[in-house]
Amino acid sequence: MAHPNEELLRRAYEAFGKGDIDTVLGAFDDDIVWHVPGRNPIAGDYKGKAEVTAFFGKILELSGGTFKLEVHDVLANDEHVIVLSRLTGERAGKRLDDNAVHTWHVENGKATEFWGVSLDPYAEDEFWS
């Protein structure tokens, strides 16, 4: 049986892939903090479900709806979840195909903080810029 925090995030990623943002947001604490590193138009910190929802809208808009996440593996304990993922998309004649590590902090059955780390941050900056 998987750890409950693993199940929480696996459901959220699956819902994101289906465009079911309400289910994704159900996995998040109301005051979630979302960190996106880099020097590009989507980089920054997003606070609360409304800002994170706007962030999701921005990445889907900029990628023309082509942005996708593929989960390779999920590792979880009582406080953290690590998601190994592949990010793909197309934008303005550019292609994104990058691996990333997503680190989550989870409290009381809700994701409270997210950090995304690209294995090729220069490619991510180029794609989103």
- Reading the chain (129 residues) residue by residue, the pLDDT tens digits are 899 999 999 999 999 999 999 999 999 999 999 999 999 999 999 999 999 999 999 999 999 999 999 999 999 999 999 999 999 999 999 999 999 999 999 999 999 999 999 999 999 999 999
Contacts of 74 (CB under 8 A, 6+ apart): 6, 9, 10, 81, 82, 83, 84
Percent of the chain with pLDDT over 90: 98
Report CA dihedral (61, 48, 103, 98) to the nearest 10 degrees.
Answer: 10
- Give the 3-state DSSP-derived string for 88-108, with helices as H, strands as E and coil as C: EEEECCEEEEEEEEEEEEEEC
Of the options 1.20.1250.20, 3.10.450.50, 3.40.640.10, 3.40.50.720, the CATH number for the domain spanning 4-128: 3.10.450.50
Contacts of 13 (CB under 8 A, 6+ apart): 69, 71, 83, 85
